[in-house]
Amino acid sequence: MGRLIDRKELLALRETWRANGEQVVFTNGCFDLVHAGHLALLRTARAFGDRLIVGINDDESVTRLKGEGRPLLSFGDRAELLAALQPVDFVIGFSSDTPLALIEALVPDVIVKGGDYTIDTVVGAETVQRAGGRVEIVPLVAGRSTSDLITRIVRHYGHAD
């Protein structure tokens, strides 16, 4: 089962995994209102290697990226939910708008992103590819997104201020 990890501990584990020949997979996102689409991405990502590390934006960076009123769930709640999911080995938070610094430090063997990305738009792709790794783009699950969930909730329950 996954757990929240700090950068120093993660990088030490990365060295152990590298020495053991284990493939490290990384994905990231806001994961605000975890849903079946997220789970599908995580299951697919886990299948690409031996360890799945999930980077999640802290609350301030989610607000910068998604706007006022977001995140709906706090960093602690989002991290706890992700860490409890079977495919996830470790969860690590980051405060910048992108995980580039984390990817440059970790140098995962595989970066996985959803089908709304292209290899050219995946942050850290060059770092991973330069080290001999790869980027995997996996299809999105139709109708499964946080934005869709918010829209359905507002439509059904009205706008709550």
* CA separation for the pair 7, 66 (Å, rounded): 25
The pLDDT of residue 160 is 53
Indicate the pTM of the whole model.
0.90
Domain that holds residue 94: 3-157
Cβ proximity of 112 and 27 under 8 Å: yes
Torsion of CA 69, 75, 77, 78, to 10 degrees: 90
- The count of domains in the chain is 1
- What's the CATH code of the domain at 64? 3.40.50.620
pLDDT (tens, 9 = 90+) of the chain, 161 residues, equals: 469 999 999 999 999 999 999 999 999 999 988 888 899 999 999 999 999 999 999 999 999 998 998 898 999 999 999 999 999 999 999 999 999 999 999 999 999 999 889 999 999 999 999 999 999 999 976 666 666 766 666 777 876 55
For the chain, strand residue ranges (E) read 3-4, 24-29, 51-57, 90-94, 110-114, 134-138
